[in-house]
Amino acid sequence: MLTKVYGSAVFGVEATTIIVEVNIDKGIGYHLVGLPDNAIKESNYRIAAALQNNGYKIPGKKITINMAPADLRKEGSAYDLTLALGILAASDQIRSEEIEKYIIMGELSLDGSLQPIKGALPIAIKAREEGFKGFILPSENAKEAAIVDNLKVYGVDTIKQVIEFFDQGTPLEQTFIDTRAEFYKDLDFPEFDFADVKGQESIKRCMEIAAAGGHNIILIGPPGAGKTMLAKRLPSILPPMTLHEALETTKIHSVVGKIKNMGLMGQRPFRSPHHTISSAALVGGGSYPQPGEISLSHNGVLFLDELPEFERRVLEVMRQPMEDREVTIARARFAVTYPSSFMLVASMNPSPGGYFNDPDAPVTSSPAEMQRYLSKISGPLLDRIDIHIEVTPVPFEKLSEDRKGESSVDIRKRVTAAREIQTKRFEALENVHYNAQMNTKQIREYCILDDKSKTLLKTAMERLNLSARAYDRILKVARTISDLDGCEQLNGNHISEAIQYRSLDREGWLG
Ligand SMILES: Nc1ncnc2c1ncn2[C@@H]1O[C@H](COP(=O)(O)OP(=O)(O)OP(=O)(O)O)[C@@H](O)[C@H]1O
Ligand SMILES: [Mg+2]
């Protein structure tokens, strides 16, 4: 007897339906064809045990299973449940007309309980598109699949529930989530709030500017100054994600199986990989390319703590994706593309010893050590960072004060207003949405200086010995400051504030 059941394979952030045909005939043997990988080939051991422990069995006949389309490689253990149901149906151990109307996926444990899968959201989107009635999957993944409407989503814990659903019509509990309610609930109560940061008013101002213009930023300060604490709070002042952005971001996290018992992600992601990270883990890779940290921070913040500690080679591979806002990983037979539009926040100590070069510091560094340390980050990556700011620790009296700082929600209102001005400004441009994305031509068009500001900038550049590359960055940041001000025209105040945010360009930092 021949039966068809349906699973799904995920490539990039898209799914493809996989038809699993099971044929049972006289004879003996177990043949699995259609480019399955080793994990799928091993599935028969798990399936045999799971069925036996629940009172069913793999029949001692000739079983042929074909996974189509045959030219597409299938991987992983998530087809266990699909195959098991196919075998049961083909051997008449369950009788159901309904089984072909569902996508069924899950990894089996030997006792028949189910383990979570990767990519539940893209699979659900595809299932709805192709008119499937429902999607049966491990309960841990049910919420992320339930974001998709017009598709019945059933989260299950054991194979037994699925068998009884099809064979005896025992109902399964459908998973519902109120996507909008879930989406908005976290927004007003960010997990990390700027209200917790005591003092540091000028740094907070600087992060507000970075958020408003989408500028990459580097924080320079000694250990314990609060760099990590500040960086973690940046997502909370970025404008709320649109539903579309939330869906894009959730899809990527779904593909790596990182969404546990959650629906749509309402908060922008914050990722802070350790400096020993490999380039594959940073930009994505593997024989079945998985998204890397730059894609997991899509629409959010990528924090590279202790930037000079990262291997230069690893940082180099990040440059192109930063520019393109997506990364394509090519393999011999296929290529996948993951989006990677993120804000970069980096941190570093002012010297290899950790402290600003002041004679009272606990550790001091020689000029040669300084040079070696700083040269690790010079060049192209630094070129993409508009704002440099020095962070000094707040004094103890300030730390022990009870007064709360301004909340992230209040700061976010100003950021959002400034972003709206930018959205309007760049309406006609396809690839530019905020000030940080302007190219030289657009800077000339949108950052026009009056004579007084021009002179001011010229004098400052000479006196502070700022490099030429600082020039355009200062203009971009000044544009954002002026947008926060609600001013059409850049003025001297905007310029002089922007000049302060170029610490690393000054003489004595980078040679
Ligand atoms: N302005 C502040 N307000 C409240 N707490 C602060 C502030 N600055 C520092 N702290 C406290 O000090 C701790 C250390 O800060 P954090 O880890 O952010 O420093 P850091 O600059 O990242 O240091 P390191 O270089 O060691 O990584 C924080 O967890 C926080 O409790
Ligand atoms: Mg830190």
Beta strand extents in 324-379 (DSSP E only): 326-330, 335-339, 343-348
pLDDT category at 511 given cuts 50, 70, 90 is very low
* Between 143 and 181, residue with greater pLDDT: 143
| 462-490 average pLDDT score | 90
**Which residue has tokens 């003092």?**
199
- Whether 347 and 220 have beta carbons less than 8 Å apart is answered as yes
* Between 465 and 374, residue with greater pLDDT: 465
Q: pLDDT digit string (tens) for 27-41?
A: 999 999 998 888 888
64 pLDDT higher than 70: yes
Which residues lie below 8 Å from residue 51, measured CB to CB, with a gap of 6+?
57, 58, 84, 87, 88, 112, 159
pLDDT category at 364 given cuts 50, 70, 90 is low
The DSSP letter of residue 18 is E
157 pLDDT higher than 80: yes
- Mutating to test ligand 1, I would choose from 229, 272, 404 the residue with most ligand atoms within 8 A of its C-beta, which is 229
Strand ranges of the sheet holding 2-11, from the earlier edge strand across to the other edge: 29-33, 62-68, 14-25, 2-11, 102-104, 134-138, 152-156
- Ligand 1 close to Cβ of residue 281 (< 6 A): no
- What pLDDT, on the 0 to 100 scale, is given for residue 467? 77
Share of the chain above pLDDT 70, in %: 95
CA dihedral 185, 191, 196, 200 (to 10 degrees): -100
- What pLDDT, on the 0 to 100 scale, is given for residue 507? 55
Mean residue pLDDT of the chain comes to 90
- Whether 117 and 259 have beta carbons less than 8 Å apart is answered as no
Q: Which of 92, 158, 144 is nearest to 135 (CA)?
A: 144
508 pLDDT higher than 70: no
CA 179 to chain centre: 19
- What pLDDT, on the 0 to 100 scale, is given for residue 361? 63
Ligand 1 centroid, distance to 200 Cα (angstroms): 11
Ligand 2 centroid, distance to 199 Cα (angstroms): 18
- What pLDDT, on the 0 to 100 scale, is given for residue 202? 92
Q: Between β-strands 107-108 and 114-115, what pairing exists: parallel, antiparallel or unpaired?
A: antiparallel
Ligand 2 centroid, distance to 498 Cα (angstroms): 25
Q: Which of 29, 23, 92 is nearest to 60 (CA)?
A: 29
Which residues lie below 8 Å from residue 54, measured CB to CB, with a gap of 6+?
112, 158, 159, 160, 163
> How far is the C-alpha of 189 from the C-alpha of 195, rounded, in Å?
11
- Ligand 1 close to Cβ of residue 280 (< 6 A): no
Whether the bond between 190 and the residue before it is cis, its omega within 30 degrees of 0, is no
